[in-house]
Structure 1
Amino acid sequence: MKQIILLITLLSIFQFSSNAQTMDYTNELKERALLKELVDTFSNLADTKEVHAQVQLFTPNATSETFVNGSSVSKLTGREELEKAFGAFLAKFETVYHFNGQQIFTLNGDKALGTSYCMVTLIGTENGRKMKTTIGVIYQDEFVHDNDKWLIAKRKANFNWQDKQPLSQ
């Protein structure tokens, strides 16, 4: 009888532990999916030039620093600065496309780190001629979970390479 009770107890503990691990893993997958959606939404809003909605994906005092070939070219703080700079930049182009690639996230409670690769295509007019600029970007982000949603607290955008050429018509 003692052996049966011990067996039942052990099975119950194993089942509880297994369920807890499954819940933890399921929650982690959910949070990773939400972070991916945040990064993808940022890109989609840039493509449609919905800058005001785009900057709401950042914390109110977020920072964003942009590097071109390893040199810092801008550092912005707060949604107002972000909106002004993002809007001015996107206004130069008729068409904007972000193609997001691999993304890696490290979760730590209500904070997370992320690295996302992106290829950005920009089409605009220069000297009366349509030009296509393609840029390879790596975003390094710090996220915070606030009021049941993830936000970008800090973004480092590394514009590592660029190709500019006339657009064939």
Structure 2
Amino acid sequence: MTLEIVKIKEELRNLIDDYAYLGDEKKISEVMDLFTPDLSYNVYMNGNLVSNVSGRENMEKDFNAHASQVKTYFTLNGQHTVKINGDAATGISFSQIKMIREVEGKDVLTDYSVKYDDQYLYLNGKWLIKERIAYFIILESRSIS
């Protein structure tokens, strides 16, 4: 493995971690800067497609609408494997996401176990996410005090 490959892998891991950090802080406009303008973002829950968004403007609207319903986000990233091909790459990463929402006056914690399939592009001196498919594999909700 060359030093250049190691550097690219670190940049791609930082991209994934930045997505989590900024999302947890609800810095949605900054999250959008991590994607190509023509992005595609699909979400599957229990094997069913529940969201299909393309373009930064549409995704920013969706993310802001979602964030407005969430009191707290907490994301923990796990393994991240990439394959690099010049200025393009693919990656698989895993995350544990916790969200707290208020439902009927009670705080409800939902835990999500998520697998992301990504396509990345190197544009204007930085790596960006071009396509993200999120597979919400395990979902658990419970009231908390």
TM-score, normalisation: structure 2: 0.98
Deviation string for 1:44-90 (max 9, x for gaps)? 11100000110111000110000001110111010001100011111
Query: Quick check: which one's strand share is greater?
Result: 2
Give the aligned partner of residue 37 of structure 1: 14
**Structure number with larger C-alpha Rg:** 1
Q: Match of 2:68, as an amino acid?
A: A
Structure 1 counterpart of 2:91:
114
> Moved runs in structure 1, 4+ residues, more than 6 A?
none
Is 1:96 aligned to 2:73, yes or no? yes
Quote the residue 1:26 is aligned against.
Answer: 3
- Counterpart check, 1:150 vs 2:127: yes
CA RMSD of aligned residues (A): 0.8
Letter in 2 for 1:114: G
Unaligned stretches of 5+ residues in structure 1: 1-23
- The one-letter amino acid of 1:136's match is S
- 2-structure distance, mates of 1:94, 1:152: 26
**Higher helix content, 1 or 2:** 1
1:63 aligns with 40
**Distance apart, 1:36 and its partner CA:** 0.2
> How many residues end up aligned between the 2 structures?
145
Q: Which residue of structure 2 aligns with residue 80 of structure 1?
A: 57
Alpha-carbon deviations, 1:77-115, whole Å to 9, x = none? 100011000111111111101100001010000000000
Matched, 1:134 2:134: no
Code of the residue aligned with 1:120 in structure 2: it is I
Q: Residues 114-139 of structure 1: CA distance to partner in whole angstroms, max 9, x if unpaired?
A: 00000000011100011100001001
Aligned to 2:23: 46
d(CA) in 2 for partners of 1:56, 1:147? 12
Displacement of 1:161: 1.2
Give the whole-Å Cα distance in 2 for the aligned partners of 1:25 and 1:138: 28
Q: Secondary structure at the match of 2:2?
A: helix
